[in-house]
Structure 1
C-alpha cells in the first residue's frame, strides 16, 4: 500500500517534518511493508521556509532582523530564479512570530512587525522581483505599521512600538507611504495566508486572533480602536485612489486577508500586495497533485483540528486535492474538535485524535512525537491493507 504522509506542524510541539516522521514511525510499526512518502506542509505560518527549501531549487540568504520586541534574531530569505523572475520567499513568523516570545512577553499591545519590513527590504536588495510573504503564527497586532516603518513609511519610534500606540498617531504619521509604495512598484508582493479575515470587526485581527497572542478582552478592544485610528491615518495619504468602476474609495482594511498576522496583511495590501492561499503555494511547490495520484491513501494532520482548519489551512487543502483525485484522506490531530458532518463535507474519510481528555492532553504535551506515533499505529491497523 502506498501512503502519502503530509501534515502541518503541531503548533508548539512538533514541526511539520517532525510530525511526518512521528506518523511514519507509528505506521511502520503496524504495517512495515507499506510504501511511505513524507511531505511536510505549511499554510504560510511557521515552517513555511523549511517546507519550501526541501521542495525548490533555491539559494538561502541569512539575515539578522528585529524580533517582536526589537531584539536581533536570525532569519532567512529563500531565493528562486525562474527565467527572468527572481522570487524571494519570506516567513513573517521568523521576525514577528509568537514562538519568539516567552509566555510572560506575549503582549500584542507592544509587539511590532518591524523585522518583517527588514526582511522585505533585504529581499529587494537581493534583486527579488517577486516577494512571497508567508503569514501566520504572529505575536503582533500592529496592522503592519512596524513593517511599514522599516521600509520608510514613517518614524519607527511612532509606528514600531506596538499596536496600542497606533491610537495616538498624528495625521501625518504615514507621509512616507506613497514613496515606499512607488519604490516597490516594480516588485510583485504576494501574501501567502490561510486567513481571509478583514482587519477590523468581529471577524478581524483583534477580536479573533488577539486573545491567542496574550490579549485580554479589554486589550482586544483597545487594539481594535487603535487599528481603527491607523486606517484613518492611512486615509489621509490615500495611496490607492478610487475604484475605476464605482468611483468609491478603496478600503484595503475590508479585503480578505487584511487581518492576517495581526493585520500585517493590511500593511502588505497597502503596498500593492495581493493575497493567495498559503497552502496552495506550498502544494504547487511540492508537486502535490502528482504525489496524490501516485498514492493509495493520504494522511494529514495538525495540532488542533477545529473550525479554522476548514478555512484554507493545510488539512483543508490536502482534503480538497485528495477528493478531486479520488484518494481517501485521513486526519490525525492532537485534538479533533470538528463534527463528523463537517469533516465529511470536506472530503475527509476519517478523523483521529491523539488526546481526548485532560490526562491524554498532558501526556501528549509531555511526549508529542511518541503519542502521535502510537496513535498512528492504531490508525494503521484500520487502514493498511498490508499489515503483518
Structure 2
C-alpha cells in the first residue's frame, strides 16, 4: 500500500517535518510493508518557508529581525527563480508569530508587526519581480501598522507600539504611506493566507482571533475600536481604490483576508497586494497532485482539528485535492473538535485524535513525538491491509 503523509505543523510542539516523521514511524511500526511518502505542508503560517525551501531550488538569505515585543530573532528570505522571474518568499510568523511569545507575554494590544516590515525590506533588497508573504500563526493584532512603520509610512511611536496604541494615533500618522507604496512599484505582492476574514466586525481579526492571542473579551472590543480608528486614518490619507468592473470604491478592510495575521493582510492590501489561498499555493509548489498519483491513501494532520480547519487550512486543502484525485484522506490531529457531519463535505474518510481527555492532552504535550507515533500505529491497523 502506498501512503502519502502530508501534515501541517502541530503548533507549539512539532514542525510539519517532525510531525510527518512521527506519523511515518508509527505507521511503519504496524505496517512495515507499506510505501510511505512524506510531504510536510503549510498554509502560510509557521513552517511556510521550510516547506517551500525543500521544494524550490532557491537561496536562503539569513537576517535578524524584531519579534512582536522588539527582541531580535533569526529569520530568513527565500529567493527562487531565474533572473527576471525571481520570487522572494517570507514567513510573517518568523517575526510576528505567537510561538515567539511566552504565555504571560501574549497581549495583542502591545505586540507589533515591525519585524515583518523588516522582512519585506530584506525581500525588496533582492530585487524580485514577485514577493509572496505567508500569513498565519501571528501573535499580533495591529492591522499591519508596525509593518507600515518599518517601511516609512509613519512614525514608529504611533504605529509600532501594538494594536492598542492605534486608538490614539493622530490623523497624520500615515503621512508617508504613498512613499511606502512606491517602494513596491512594479513588484507583484502576494498574500498567502489561511483565512478569508475581514479586518473588522464579528468575523474580523479582533473578534475571532484576538482571544487566541491573549485578548479578553473587553480587550478584543478595545482592539476592534483601535483598528477602526486605523482605517479612519487610512481613509484620510489615501483614496479608496476603485473596483475595475463596477468603478465603485473598494473597502480594503472588508476584503477577504484583510483580517489575516491580526490585520497584516489589510496593510499588504494597502501596499497593492492581492490574496491567494496559502495551502493551494503550497500544494502547487510542492507538486502535491503529482506526488499522490498512484498512491492509495493520504494522511494529513495538525495540532487541533476544529472548525477553522475546515476553511483554508492544510487539512481541508489536502482533503479536497485528494478527493479530486479519487483518493481517501484521513486526519490525524492532536485534538479533534469537529464531528463526522462537518468533515463529510470535504471527503474526509476518518478523523483520529492523539488526545481525547485532559490527561491525554498533558501526555501529548510532554511527549508529542511518542504519542503521535503511537496513535499513527493504531490508525495503521485500521487502514493498512494485513501482510
Shorter-normalised TM-score: what interval?
over 0.9
Corresponding position: 1:172 with 2:172: yes
By how many angstroms is 1:102 displaced? 1.2
In 2, the alpha carbon distance for the partners of 1:82 and 1:201 equals 43
In 1, the alpha carbon distance for the partners of 2:377 and 2:335 equals 17
By how many angstroms is 1:350 displaced? 1.0
Aligned pairs for 1:275-314 (under 5 A) are 275-314=275-314
In 2, the alpha carbon distance for the partners of 1:11 and 1:211 equals 16
In 2, the alpha carbon distance for the partners of 1:280 and 1:112 equals 28
TM-score by length of 1: 0.98
Task: String of CA shifts for 1:73-115, please: whole Å, max 9, x gaps.
Answer: 1100000014521100000000011111111111110110001
By how many angstroms is 1:292 displaced? 1.3
| Structure 2: runs of 5+ lacking an equivalent | none
1:239/1:270 contact within 8 Å kept:
no
Where does structure 1 differ by over 3 angstroms across 4 or more consecutive aligned residues?
239-248
Aligned pairs for 1:166-245 (under 5 A) are 166-245=166-245
The more displaced of 139-148 and 176-185 is 176-185
1:24/1:373 contact within 8 Å kept:
yes
Change (3 A) 1:297 1:243: closer
In 2, the alpha carbon distance for the partners of 1:99 and 1:56 equals 26
Corresponding position: 1:49 with 2:41: no
Task: String of CA shifts for 1:220-276, please: whole Å, max 9, x gaps.
Answer: 000000000000000011244433554433210000000000000000000010000
Residue of structure 1 equivalent to 2:371: 371
Residue of structure 2 equivalent to 1:154: 154
In 2, the alpha carbon distance for the partners of 1:242 and 1:232 equals 18
Change (3 A) 1:241 1:376: closer
Residue of structure 1 equivalent to 2:17: 17
1:172/1:233 contact within 8 Å kept:
yes
* DSSP 3-state at the match of 2:90: strand
1:200/1:253 contact within 8 Å kept:
yes
By how many angstroms is 1:29 displaced? 0.6
Task: String of CA shifts for 1:118-166, please: whole Å, max 9, x gaps.
Answer: 1111111111221100001111000000000000100011100000110
Residue of structure 1 equivalent to 2:346: 346
Task: String of CA shifts for 1:38-77, please: whole Å, max 9, x gaps.
Answer: 0000000000011111111010000111111111111000
* DSSP 3-state at the match of 1:351: strand
1:78/1:89 contact within 8 Å kept:
yes
The more displaced of 371-380 and 178-187 is 178-187
| Structure 1: runs of 5+ lacking an equivalent | none
In 1, the alpha carbon distance for the partners of 2:241 and 2:270 equals 11
RMSD: 1.1
In 1, the alpha carbon distance for the partners of 2:99 and 2:78 equals 21
* DSSP 3-state at the match of 1:293: coil
In 1, the alpha carbon distance for the partners of 2:245 and 2:91 equals 35
In 2, the alpha carbon distance for the partners of 1:243 and 1:350 equals 43
Equivalences, count? 387
Task: String of CA shifts for 1:21-48, please: whole Å, max 9, x gaps.
Answer: 1100100010001110000000000000
Residue of structure 2 equivalent to 1:87: 87
By how many angstroms is 1:294 displaced? 2.5
1:142/1:264 contact within 8 Å kept:
yes
